[in-house]
A and B are shown apart, each in its own frame.
Chain A
Amino acid sequence: MRELAAIAVFALAVAAVPAFVTSGYALNVVIMTLYAALLGQAWNILGGFGGQFSFGHAVFFGTGAYAMAVLQVKFGWNAWAALPAALALGGAMGALIGALSFRYGLRGSYFALVTLAFAEVFRILANTFDFTGAGVGLMVPLAATAARMQFASPAGYLYLILGFVVAGFVVSWWLKHSRYGAWLQAVRDNEESAAALGVDVFGVKLRAIVISGVLMAAGGAFYVQYLHYIDPHIAYGLGASVEALLAPIVGGMGTVWGPLLGAALLHALGETTRNLMGDAPGINLAAYGVVLVLMVSFMPRGVMGLFQARGAARGSTHA
Chain B
Amino acid sequence: MLEPSILLASALNGLTTGAVYALIALGLTLIYGVLHIINFAHGAALMVALYGVYYLHQRLGLDPYVSLPIMVPAMFAAGYALQRLVIGRASHGKEENVLLVTLGIAIVLENLALFLFKSDTQTIDTPYTFSTMNILGATISVPKVVAFAGALVVAGLLLLLVGRTDLGRAIRAIAKERQGARLVGIDVDHVFAMSFGIGLACLGAAACFLLPAYYVNPQVGNGFVLIAFTIVVLGGMGSFLGALLGGLIIGLVESIGGLWLGESLGQIGIFLIFIAVLLFRPQGLFGARA
**Interface residue? B38 (CB, 8 A):** yes
Residues of A within 8 A of B275 (CB): 100, 114, 117-118, 121
Interface residues on chain B, number (Cβ under 8 Å) = 46
Whether the pair A113, B119 counts as a contact (CB closer than 8 A) is: no
Closest chain-B Cβ to A260's Cβ sits at a distance in Å of 18
Q: Find residues 24-42 in chain B having any chain A CB closer than 8 Å to their own CB.
A: 32, 36, 38
- Picked from B90, B110, B268, B278, the residue with its CB within 8 Å of the CB of A296 is B90
Please give 13 more A-B residue pairs, beta carbons under 8 A apart, in addition to A114-B279, A118-B271, A124-B265.
A47-B96, A53-B99, A109-B237, A117-B274, A121-B271, A242-B103, A246-B103, A249-B96, A283-B111, A284-B111, A290-B104, A296-B90, A297-B90
Residues of A within 8 A of B233 (CB): 110, 113
**Interface residue? A125 (CB, 8 A):** yes
Residues of A within 8 A of B230 (CB): 117
Whether the pair B100, A296 counts as a contact (CB closer than 8 A) is: yes
**Top 7 closest pairs, chain A to chain B, by CB:** A289-B107, A297-B90, A282-B114, A289-B108, A282-B111, A282-B115, A292-B104
Nearest CB in chain B to that of A55: its residue: B38
Closest chain-A Cβ to B213's Cβ sits at a distance in Å of 25
**Interface residue? B169 (CB, 8 A):** no
Q: Known contacts A116-B226, A253-B96, A296-B97: does B115 contact A124 (CB below 8 Å)?
A: no
Q: Known contacts A121-B272, A242-B103, A281-B115: does B278 contact A297 (CB below 8 Å)?
A: no
Interface centre among B218, B233, B275, B280 (most CB of A within 10 A): B275
Whether the pair A280, B115 counts as a contact (CB closer than 8 A) is: yes
Nearest CB in chain B to that of A109: its residue: B38
Q: Find residues 226-252 in chain B having any chain A CB closer than 8 Å to their own CB.
A: 226, 229-230, 233, 237
- Interface SS of chain A: helix
- Picked from B94, B107, B274, the residue with its CB within 8 Å of the CB of A292 is B107
Whether the pair A289, B105 counts as a contact (CB closer than 8 A) is: yes
Chain A to chain B contacts (Cβ below 8 Å), 12 pairs: A104-B278, A114-B275, A124-B268, A125-B268, A246-B100, A282-B113, A283-B111, A286-B112, A289-B106, A292-B100, A296-B100, A296-B104
Q: Find residues 75-115 in chain B having any chain A CB closer than 8 Å to their own CB.
A: 86, 89-92, 94-97, 99-101, 103-108, 110-115
**Interface residue? A92 (CB, 8 A):** no
* B residues lining the A interface (CB < 8 Å): 32, 36, 38, 86, 89-92, 94-97, 99-101, 103-108, 110-115, 119, 218, 226, 229-230, 233, 237, 264-265, 267-268, 271-272, 274-275, 278-280, 282
**Interface residue? A231 (CB, 8 A):** no
A118 to B279, CA, bound (A): 12
Whether the pair B99, A245 counts as a contact (CB closer than 8 A) is: yes
Residues of A within 8 A of B94 (CB): 300
Whether the pair B279, A101 counts as a contact (CB closer than 8 A) is: yes
Whether the pair A289, B111 counts as a contact (CB closer than 8 A) is: yes
- Picked from B86, B95, B104, B282, the residue with its CB within 8 Å of the CB of A53 is B95
**Interface residue? A308 (CB, 8 A):** no
Whether the pair B111, A250 counts as a contact (CB closer than 8 A) is: no
Whether the pair B100, A124 counts as a contact (CB closer than 8 A) is: no
Whether the pair A293, B90 counts as a contact (CB closer than 8 A) is: yes
**Interface residue? A71 (CB, 8 A):** no
Whether the pair A293, B86 counts as a contact (CB closer than 8 A) is: yes
Whether the pair B108, A110 counts as a contact (CB closer than 8 A) is: no
A242 to B40, CA, bound (A): 11
Interface residues on A, range: 35 or more
Whether the pair B271, A296 counts as a contact (CB closer than 8 A) is: no
* A residues lining the B interface (CB < 8 Å): 47, 53, 55, 100-101, 104-106, 108-110, 112-114, 116-118, 120-121, 124-125, 127-128, 135, 238, 242, 245-246, 249-250, 253, 280-286, 288-290, 292-294, 296-297, 300
Whether the pair B267, A106 counts as a contact (CB closer than 8 A) is: no
Residues of B within 8 A of A288 (CB): 107
A292 to B272, CA, bound (A): 34
Whether the pair B100, A250 counts as a contact (CB closer than 8 A) is: yes
Residues of A within 8 A of B229 (CB): 113, 116
Whether the pair B280, A104 counts as a contact (CB closer than 8 A) is: yes
Nearest CB in chain B to that of A242: its residue: B103
Nearest CB in chain B to that of A100: its residue: B279
Whether the pair B111, A285 counts as a contact (CB closer than 8 A) is: yes
A284 to B229, CA, bound (A): 29
Whether the pair B279, A293 counts as a contact (CB closer than 8 A) is: no
Whether the pair A114, B278 counts as a contact (CB closer than 8 A) is: yes
- Picked from A118, A128, A293, the residue with its CB within 8 Å of the CB of B108 is A293
Nearest CB in chain B to that of A300: its residue: B92
Residues of A within 8 A of B95 (CB): 53, 108
Whether the pair B278, A110 counts as a contact (CB closer than 8 A) is: yes
A290 to B265, CA, bound (A): 37
Residues of A within 8 A of B226 (CB): 116, 120, 238
Whether the pair B100, A112 counts as a contact (CB closer than 8 A) is: no
Whether the pair B97, A106 counts as a contact (CB closer than 8 A) is: no
Closest chain-A Cβ to B175's Cβ sits at a distance in Å of 14
Nearest CB in chain B to that of A112: its residue: B38
Whether the pair B264, A106 counts as a contact (CB closer than 8 A) is: no
Whether the pair B96, A110 counts as a contact (CB closer than 8 A) is: no
Residues of A within 8 A of B278 (CB): 101, 104, 106, 110, 113-114, 117
Residues of B within 8 A of A297 (CB): 89-92, 101
